[in-house]
Structure 1
Amino acid sequence: MTDAVHPLQPGLDAFYREHSSWLESWLRRRLGNAWDAADLSQETFLRVLLGPQGQALEALREPRAYLATVGKRLMLNHHRRRQLEQAYLDALATLPQELIPSPEQRWMLLQTLQALDELLDGLAGGVRRAFLWAQLEGLGYAQIAERLQVSERTVKRYMAQAYAHCLMADL
């Protein structure tokens, strides 16, 4: 059995060899952690390969600037996931022992929270908060309007935006 060669492999191989050490060092300086930097470096190259520039790596005028942009976005997502995980762990710490979920349940809940966070990424802060308060806390539009200090009509518009965003992400 022969290994199938991806049509981008020769260009990607040279691109990776030329820039991987630089990118990993760049990420390590920002993260202060070699393991996370290595993971994010690999994920950056994977995103580049699967993204629109994966077809024309040699056409990139500033490959390191492009890698830094993709890496920075992944780093921000990494920090957001860590903050979300810490908030979840802090909330668990306040629960009585008998209500603390099992490790498997905690993992599944954390994965769900991270998926929800990714799904809502890109929504304006007010839209995101309105949607989360309605879905997770069961607040009505009047209560959300009061919290956000906006009109109920604005909350309805926010909710429509959030639902449309979720529907489009599902496609």
Structure 2
Amino acid sequence: MASVQSIHRTVDDLYSDHHGWLLGWMRRRLGGGPHADDLAQDTFVRILSKPEAIVVREPRAFLTTIAQRVLANHYRRQDVERAWLETLSALPEASVPSPEMQAMVLETLLEIARRLDGLPRPVRRVFLLSQLDGLGHAAIAAELRVSVTTVKRYIVRAGQQCYFPED
């Protein structure tokens, strides 16, 4: 087992040798903008947060894989934030929650999105139709042209992912 010091040395080397390349990669993906620096740093933070030793044979391929996940999370967060802001803007002023409650709801929505992200699209769709739109099993089955049994199975699968993730 590698020592903590050798793991950090490996990350230090990875950072010093490839940070500039990764930053350029991020900038190209984002079309410039202020987020490239933060997302490049987040990529290295993810590497540092791994409890197990890392062995990197292909540094750029390794960084690209992690950076793609960081970027996907960034886009997912933007989508959820945009949807939440649209929802807030549609509320009557008297119904708008406090800034603290807005932040709590946003974090909850982001966590749910993160947990549902690994599920196949039909499973996510069934779960969201059930939980957000309040449709019953038969209505979802009719809309998606699947059996009620399939709808129930998908809801259970998504519920397990939300409540008992394999993180």
Q: TM-score, normalised by structure 1?
A: 0.85
Deviation at 1:126, TM superposition (A): 1.4
C-alpha contact (below 8 Å) 2:130/2:140 kept by paired residues: yes
* C-alpha distance after superposition, 1:31-89 (max 9, x if no partner): 1345311111111112223348x6234xx232111101211121111111101111111
Write the mapping of 1:8-157 to structure 2, written as runs, cut at 5 A: 8-51=7-50, 55-57=53-55, 60-157=56-153
Deviation at 1:163, TM superposition (A): 2.6
Change (3 A) 1:170 1:13: closer
Distance in 1 separating the partners of 2:29 and 2:138: 43
Given residue 45 of structure 1, which amino acid in structure 2 is its aligned partner? F
SS in 1 for 2:34: helix
Distance in 2 separating the partners of 1:62 and 1:159: 40
Q: TM-score, normalised by structure 2?
A: 0.87
Given residue 42 of structure 1, which amino acid in structure 2 is its aligned partner? Q
Deviation at 1:156, TM superposition (A): 1.2
> Identity of counterpart residues, as a percentage?
45
Deviation at 1:120, TM superposition (A): 0.9
Distance in 2 separating the partners of 1:33 and 1:107: 27
Distance in 1 separating the partners of 2:35 and 2:25: 12
Given residue 57 of structure 2, which amino acid in structure 1 is its aligned partner? R
Distance in 1 separating the partners of 2:90 and 2:54: 51
Given residue 103 of structure 1, which amino acid in structure 2 is its aligned partner? P
Which 5+ residue runs of structure 1 have no aligned equivalent? none
C-alpha contact (below 8 Å) 2:8/2:48 kept by paired residues: no
C-alpha contact (below 8 Å) 2:115/2:165 kept by paired residues: yes
Distance in 2 separating the partners of 1:122 and 1:91: 25
Distance in 2 separating the partners of 1:170 and 1:105: 28
SS in 2 for 1:55: coil
Deviation at 1:152, TM superposition (A): 0.7
Deviation at 1:170, TM superposition (A): 6.2
Distance in 1 separating the partners of 2:166 and 2:25: 34
* C-alpha distance after superposition, 1:111-135 (max 9, x if no partner): 1100100111111111112112222
Deviation at 1:95, TM superposition (A): 1.2
